[in-house]
Amino acid sequence: MKKLCVTVLLCMCGGWVLADAVPYSIDRTFTHTIESSINGKQYELYVRVPRSYASSDKRYPLAVLNDTGWAFPTVCGVLQLLTVKDMQEIVAVGISYSAGDAGGTSRTRDYTPTFAPDETSFHSLEAKQVSGRAVDYIAFIEKDVLPFLVSHYRLDMDNKALIGHSFGGLLGAYILLTKPSLFEHYIVGSPSLWYDDKVMFDLEREYAKKTNVMPGNVYMYVGEKENTKVHTMVDDLKNYERQLRQRQYQGLSLSVDVVPGASHHSAFPHLLTDALPKVFPLN
């Protein structure tokens, strides 16, 4: 059926017929459908196991990521490159956008902390109307995704990383303010700290009033070129770093790097190649 779709697609676009062309599948990956018990939406989980997985009985560290269209192929390629000379073997899992929803709608709903229908940046009006449900998405990860994964794969659940970039980075930073113990490690790229009038700075202040503990091994990155006419993402991240550091949170190990020469988009592969060997070093 998939093959037929490919053929029809290519027949339609100017007479270029590729009768036998099947898609490229990434080695040692598996796709599962999962329903969120929180919002009833269906998602796919894309799982990549390391080379030794099939021949061992060990449990592997876990990295969870989102925005899978660009993030999952990239992380699979990077893991193929870095394992096992630069880092240990891990299982990587991408959580897709919700079925039937536009990507912009899914990620705005799931990755943003607050309802901000008037936010001037990013995505459609429709997306903004459903914004601010990260709390549901975090519960979905906790109640549905992680239990599914640990019941189907051999995982070391004491050694888990969240990888997020852009809105996904905003999500990572927000989990640290709501449920920091959900992951042991956070790899946060170019977080959208401009979101909703920089609401993250307020949310962090609220968090600091409640506790002086923030357990997390956190690596944050932003591209050098991300101070633009629209947003000052480099300055925002430095200011957020300053705000976090002044709390002297117990349990927080924080590293913040500006990636030389990188744009918002080119920063992402760098945060993988830099952080993964630090988070999952060779034994």
Per rule CB under 8 A, is residue 31 in the interface with a second copy? yes
Per rule CB under 8 A, is residue 215 in the interface with a second copy? no
Per rule CB under 8 A, is residue 47 in the interface with a second copy? yes
Supply 282's token pair.
């060779």
Cα separation of 76 and 26, whole Å?
Answer: 8
> Quick one: 92 or 199, whose CB is closer to a second copy?
92
| CA atoms in the 13 A half-sphere facing the CB of 241 | 20
Cα separation of 280 and 55, whole Å?
Answer: 21
> Quick one: 133 or 225, whose CB is closer to a second copy?
225
Smallest distance, a second copy to C-beta of residue 271, A:
10
Query: In this chain, which of 107, 128, 160, 264 binds a second copy, going by CB under 8 A?
Result: 264
Span 234-253, contacts to a second copy by CB under 8 A: none
Give the CA-trace dihedral at 212, 214, 218, 220, to 10 degrees. -60
Count of residues interacting with a second copy (CB under 8 A): 62
Span 57-86, contacts to a second copy by CB under 8 A: 57, 69-78, 80-82, 85-86
At position 3, the amino acid (one-letter code) is: K
Per rule CB under 8 A, is residue 104 in the interface with a second copy? no
Smallest distance, a second copy to C-beta of residue 79, A:
8
Per rule CB under 8 A, is residue 55 in the interface with a second copy? yes
CB 39 within 8 A of CB 27: no
Per rule CB under 8 A, is residue 148 in the interface with a second copy? no
Per rule CB under 8 A, is residue 117 in the interface with a second copy? no
Per rule CB under 8 A, is residue 206 in the interface with a second copy? no
Please write down the long-range contacts of 97-100, taking CB distance under 8 Å and 24 or more positions apart: 97/43, 97/68, 98/36, 98/39, 98/41, 98/42, 98/43, 99/41, 99/42, 99/43, 99/44, 100/42
| CA atoms in the 13 A half-sphere facing the CB of 124 | 10
The region of 9-17, 100-108, 124-132, 205-213 touching a second copy under the rule CB under 8 A is 9-17
Reported in sequence order, the residue ranges of 149-267 that DSSP labels E, i.e. its strands, are: 155-165, 185-189, 213-223, 250-259
Cα separation of 48 and 256, whole Å?
Answer: 28
Instruction: Tell me, residue by residue from 118 to 147, as one string, x for binding to a second copy by CB under 8 A and - for no binding.
Output: ------------------------------
At position 27, the amino acid (one-letter code) is: D
What sign does the CA torsion over 169, 170, 175, 180 have? positive
Burial of 1 (0-12, 13-18, 19+ CB in 10 A): exposed
The region of 21-29, 137-145, 169-177, 191-199 touching a second copy under the rule CB under 8 A is 21-29
Query: In this chain, which of 38, 39, 53, 238 binds a second copy, going by CB under 8 A?
Result: 53
Smallest distance, a second copy to C-beta of residue 230, A:
12
Smallest distance, a second copy to C-beta of residue 168, A:
12
Q: Give contact residues for a second copy (rule: CB under 8 A).
A: 2, 6, 9-10, 12-14, 16, 18, 20-27, 29-32, 46-48, 53-57, 69-78, 80-82, 85-86, 94, 152-154, 260-266, 268-270, 272-274, 277
